[in-house]
Amino acid sequence: MPNYKTHLIAGAVSFYLVMRTTATYIPTLSMPLEYLSLGLALSLIGSIFPDIDVPSKMQKWFFVASIILILISLLHQNHTLFAGLGISVVFVAFLTHRTITHKPAFLLLIALVPVMGVIYALPAHSTIALAGYLYFTVGCLSHVLLDRLLTFFNRLIGKARRF
């Protein structure tokens, strides 16, 4: 199966495709560099996010970020964030490979959680949150598509070798 570098390349390609596709609606050249950088970062993170269910770069990043955010939530006495992070860490720890995290519907829904939080808490930033959702989910879907294509071709090659 593809390694994380292959998935990152697919994430960069998906970023470019989304950027070019939405250019008619969002003038890309007039966008601040920070927004384009955020879009690229979210596409890249999305492209390796489905592998959060195995010991991988994404899983390591997730656990490190979770520990930092758990400590911050304790310092700020944000019990809701603390509980949500705790549940997600336990959830990720018990996942098996290529189950729920490789389902497009799950990826589309799980990415909505932070977007809804931003829309609720900071409505002025809802456009940025929705754009980020688009970049992240297209990156995630590039991962799933790449895995499925390679699985298909591996089966095809395996059948061809039997003849």
Domain identity same for 117 and 47? yes
Confidence of residue 116 (pLDDT cuts 50, 70, 90): very high
Confidence of residue 127 (pLDDT cuts 50, 70, 90): confident
Q: Among residues of the chain, what percentage have pLDDT more than 70?
A: 92
Distance CA 77, CA 51 (A): 31
Domain identity same for 59 and 49? no
Buried b (16+ CB within 10 A) or exposed e, 131-159: bbbbbbbbbbbbbbebbeeeeeeeeeeee
What range does the domain containing 131 cover? 4-53+97-162
pLDDT value at 23 more than 80: no
Domain identity same for 42 and 109? yes
Domain count, the chain: 2
Domain identity same for 122 and 78? no
pLDDT value at 28 more than 70: no
Q: Residue 82 corresponds to which amino acid?
A: F
More confident residue, 3 or 129: 129
Confidence of residue 4 (pLDDT cuts 50, 70, 90): confident
Confidence of residue 13 (pLDDT cuts 50, 70, 90): very high
Which of these ranges, 107-111, 112-116, 151-155, 157-161, has the smallest mean pLDDT? 157-161
Angle at the Cα of 9 (from 131 to 115), degrees rounded to 5?
20
Distance CA 163, CA 159 (A): 7
Domain identity same for 113 and 146? yes
Domain identity same for 154 and 80? no
Structure-block tokens of residue 111: 């990415």
Domain identity same for 25 and 12? yes
Q: Quick one: pLDDT at residue 144?
A: 95
pTM: 0.83
pLDDT value at 26 more than 80: no
